[in-house]
């Protein structure tokens, strides 16, 4: 068999095997093989559950360019069949979302988020949006260098103040304990597949993306989705008012991007959370942007006039009607890290 690109990386396969909500006979990867025995596509699943009802998030869906049009749909229908249509989608491309809407078997929940930039990164962003601009990357790099030099000088003359609050103290957590589950439960009532300390510890300890010092040379360029980067970190932060916990936040740093993956918080402490992460962004010269899909935090940060640039993003999520009916769910919300998004 001529595999060409590999359908799953070793660290991702190990992580899947340790998923506390997975069963040994779960189908988590389906391959499409051509008549010439070449790998031309695959689709993945991330097992989960709602109460006692088992389900799966779509996790990766790739088809080789030039493959027959039906390959993509065959993979998709195989995924639906393996999981009895009890499936969810955390972050779809517009093309995938449109396809699933046409099939009319899901309830869609688009969420609007915010991305704020504190430094220039035109050479990274513009060629991604418009590939024709790749030839101008050297010019964008020059603009980035000059712009960030000015920002660096400004920050030197007017240093970013460390986050200080008269009533809030902050503790960083390496792992979560079961004692936090009650607080998480209070704030995840609208999430269809609730994650708790056991799930989050599995995620932190079995990441799908690693930093470049890890030896991945033999698989370099053979996997369609990115899996090693210059920098990847995941952190938990606990916000306390005196001794009472008022917020628990998970954030990740990938290269120069800060992403707020999960927010479990009392509404009245959203300003403190926003101020903390904005100061974290500004103080770290290796960071360029912050992204959140938490409505309260996005609204608060949207009023911050100190961002270099702000843009609003749409997160396209969906849940199958079969799963909604079986779980009696009528309304649901997703966080940025739901599904496999927290891994990347």
* pLDDT confidence tier of residue 35, bands split at 50, 70 and 90: confident
Distance of CA 330 to the CA centre of its chain: 24
- Model pTM? 0.92
The verdict on 60 and 103 lying in the same domain is yes
Looking at residue 321, what is its pLDDT? Answer: 96
The verdict on 117 and 100 lying in the same domain is no
Evaluate whether residue 340 is within a structural domain.
Answer: no
d(CA 241, CA 49): 33
CATH of the domain at 196: 3.40.630
Q: Is the pLDDT of residue 225 over 80?
A: no
d(CA 268, CA 275): 13
SS (H, E, C) 48-75: EEECCEEEEEEEEEEECCCCCCHHHHHH
Evaluate whether residue 144 is within a structural domain.
Answer: no
The verdict on 87 and 117 lying in the same domain is no
Residue predicted with more confidence, 12 or 5: 12
Looking at residue 195, what is its pLDDT? Answer: 95
Q: Read off the pLDDT of each residue in 203-221 and give the average, rounded to a whole number.
A: 70
d(CA 295, CA 301): 10
**Mean pLDDT, the chain, as a whole number?**
90
The verdict on 198 and 309 lying in the same domain is yes
d(CA 1, CA 263): 45
Residues 106-151: tens digit of each pLDDT: 999 999 999 999 999 999 999 988 888 888 999 999 999 999 999 9
The verdict on 232 and 173 lying in the same domain is yes
How many angstroms separate the Cα of 225 from the Cα of each of 109, 137, 261? 25, 23, 20
CATH of the domain at 15: 3.40.630.30
Helix-then-strand count for the chain, H and E = 10, 15
């Amino acid at each position: 068999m001529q595999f060409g690109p590999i359908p799953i990386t070793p660290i991702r396969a190990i992580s899947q095997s340790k998923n506390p909500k997975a069963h040994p006979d779960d189908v988590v990867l389906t391959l499409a093989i051509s008549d010439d025995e070449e790998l031309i596509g695959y689709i993945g699943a991330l097992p989960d559950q709602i109460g006692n009802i088992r389900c799966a998030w779509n996790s990766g869906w790739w088809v080789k360019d030039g493959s027959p049009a039906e390959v993509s749909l065959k993979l998709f229908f195989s995924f639906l069949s393996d999981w009895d249509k009890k499936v969810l989608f955390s972050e779809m491309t517009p093309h995938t979302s449109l396809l699933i809407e046409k099939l009319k078997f899901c309830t869609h929940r688009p969420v609007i988020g915010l991305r704020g930039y504190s430094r220039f990164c035109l050479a990274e962003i513009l060629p991604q949006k418009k590939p024709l601009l790749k030839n101008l990357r050297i010019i964008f790099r020059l603009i980035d260098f000059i712009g960030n030099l000015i920002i660096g000088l400004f920050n030197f003359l007017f240093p970013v103040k460390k986050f200080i609050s008269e009533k809030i103290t902050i503790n960083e957590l390496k792992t979560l304990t079961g004692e936090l589950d009650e607080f998480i439960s209070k704030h995840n009532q609208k999430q269809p597949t609730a994650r708790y300390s056991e799930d989050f510890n599995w995620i932190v300890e079995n990441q799908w993306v690693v930093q470049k010092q890890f030896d991945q040379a033999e698989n370099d360029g053979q996997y369609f989705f990115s899996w090693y980067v210059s920098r990847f970190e995941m952190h938990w932060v606990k916000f306390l008012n005196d001794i009472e916990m008022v917020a628990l936040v998970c954030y990740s740093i990938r290269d120069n991007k800060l992403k707020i993956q999960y927010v479990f918080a009392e509404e009245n402490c959203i300003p403190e959370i926003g101020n903390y992460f904005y100061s974290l962004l500004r103080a770290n010269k290796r960071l360029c942007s912050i992204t959140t899909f938490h409505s309260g935090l996005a609204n608060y940060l949207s009023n911050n006039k100190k961002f270099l640039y702000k843009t609003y993003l749409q997160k396209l999520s969906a849940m199958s009607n079969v799963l909604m009916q079986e779980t009696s769910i009528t309304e649901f919300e997703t966080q940025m890290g739901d599904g496999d998004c927290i891994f990347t």
